[in-house]
Amino acid sequence: MKNAVAVIAACAALSAACNRAPSQGAGGKPTVALVLKTLNHPFFVDMRRGAQEAADRLGVTLQVQAAEREIDVEKQMQIVENLIQTGIQALAITPSGSREIVSALVKARGARVPIIVVDTRLDSKAAADAGVRGETFVGSDNYEGGRLAGEFMVKATGGKAHVGILEGIPGHETGDSRLRGFRDAVKGSPGITIAASQPANWERDQGFNVFQNMLQAHPDIDSVFACSDLMALGALEAISAAHRTGTIKVVGFDALDDAKKAIAAGAMEASVAQFPAEMGRAAIESAVRVIHGEKLPEDIKVKLELVTRDNAK
């Protein structure tokens, strides 16, 4: 009987929790699900805030779920499968894996749940093979963001630099596009060489370690492009540990608050700002439009902006 008691204890916690979060739209309100990669990253926390505001304004019930870890696409798939069971009217999702999540979306389509893809695109081949189509894609153009960063790097270094690059998780569309954009932008400047380019898996501590190792192997590195600010902030700490603050130009992506502070303080050069709250808002607005039977444009672009010393607050 002991485990029975254990489970009852858990259920007490559970029933307390569900009073707070109803599983179905109260009073016939449609329910929209927003499945994020994770909720332990400020980017997605902002996205959730924007989505919640839009949901309140438009009178829909919003269900937000996320896996514990950003890379856990199997868990994200389970969440989608479970949410389909609750009869949601629309699904907005930031795919943890551009190809892998397609299998779950096949099931959503089977249940006639319209899909809004947010922030990270589906792999077009995998989606086409499975016959899955999002109603629309809401997000910033990561390739364009990478270009912005690259063009800034050329300008800031006068076209002469040894660049170290910190990549996201290999195979992630988001990071790959940023990287391609950056490389394409610096390609035209023969004075810019890419000394090293390695994944630090989106994480701050890995950004620190990987860049520290990079500096050991390539002491001539004088600038950094990190595909996300968390990795850029990790690199900043590695630079400070090597007593080289101010001699290495760091450009990041996401314009997190900590990064903006570093830019204002002069420790970091620039960061490409995305507007996740805006994405969340647009995602829920799109979902509501689809529920009302409207047809959406294929792409809903959310703006990008370069944050530098001039506009960092």
Partner 1 sequence: MNPARQFGTLIGLLVLCVILWILSPFFLTVSNLLNVAEQTSINAIVAVGMTFVILSGGIDLSVGSIVALAGVVLGLALRGDQPLALALFVALVAGAICGLANGMLVSLGGLPPFIVTLGTMSIARGAALLVTEGRPISGFAASFRLFATGRVGFVPAPVIATALVYLIAHLALTRTTFGRYVYAIGGNEEATRLSGVAIPFHKTMIYVVSGLTAAIAAVILTARLNSAQPIAGMMYELDAIAATVIGGTSLMGGEGTLAGTLVGALIMGVLRNGLNLLGVSSFLQQIVIGAVIVVAVLLDTMLKRKHAV
Chain positions contacting partner 1, by CB under 8 A:
1-11, 13-15, 17-18, 21-24, 39, 63-69, 71-74, 77-79, 81-83, 85-87, 97, 99-100, 102-103, 123, 125-126, 129-130, 169-171, 199
Please, which residue, 20 or 243, has the CB nearer to partner 1?
Answer: 20
- Of 72 and 258, the one with the shorter C-beta distance to partner 1 is 72
Nearest-approach distance from CB 147 to partner 1, in angstroms: 23
Q: Say if residue 53 is exposed, middle or buried (CB neighbours under 10 Å; 0-12, 13-18, 19+).
A: middle
Tokens of 118: 């947010």
In the complex, least distance from residue 17 CB atom to partner 1, rounded to whole angstroms: 5
User: What's the Rg (C-alpha) of the chain?
Assistant: 21
CB of 12 to partner 1, least distance (A): 9
CB closer to partner 1, 58 vs 62: 62
Q: How many CA atoms lie within 13 A of 281 on its CB side?
A: 11
Cα end-to-end span (Å), the chain: 60
* Residue number with CB closer to partner 1 (91 or 236): 91
Pick 203 or 269: Cβ nearer partner 1: 203
Minimum separation from the CB atom of position 174 to partner 1 (A): 14
> What DSSP element (H or E) covers 289?
helix 276-291
User: Which SS3 state, helix, strand or coil, does residue 274 take?
Assistant: coil
Min CB(184)–partner 1 separation in Å: 20
Between 79 and 116, name the residue whose CB sits nearer to partner 1.
Answer: 79
Q: Are strands 270-273 and 305-307 parallel, antiparallel or unpaired?
A: antiparallel
Q: Smallest distance from the beta carbon of 269 to partner 1, in angstroms?
A: 28
Tell me whether residue 33 or residue 307 sits nearer to partner 1 (CB atom).
33
CA 4 – CA 1 distance, rounded (Å) = 5
In this structure, the strands spanning 249-254 and 223-226 are parallel
Contact 105, 135 (CB under 8 A): no
Residue 232 phi, psi dihedral angles, 5° rounding: -65, -40
Residue with token string 């954009």: 181
Least separation in angstroms between residue 20's CB and partner 1 is: 8
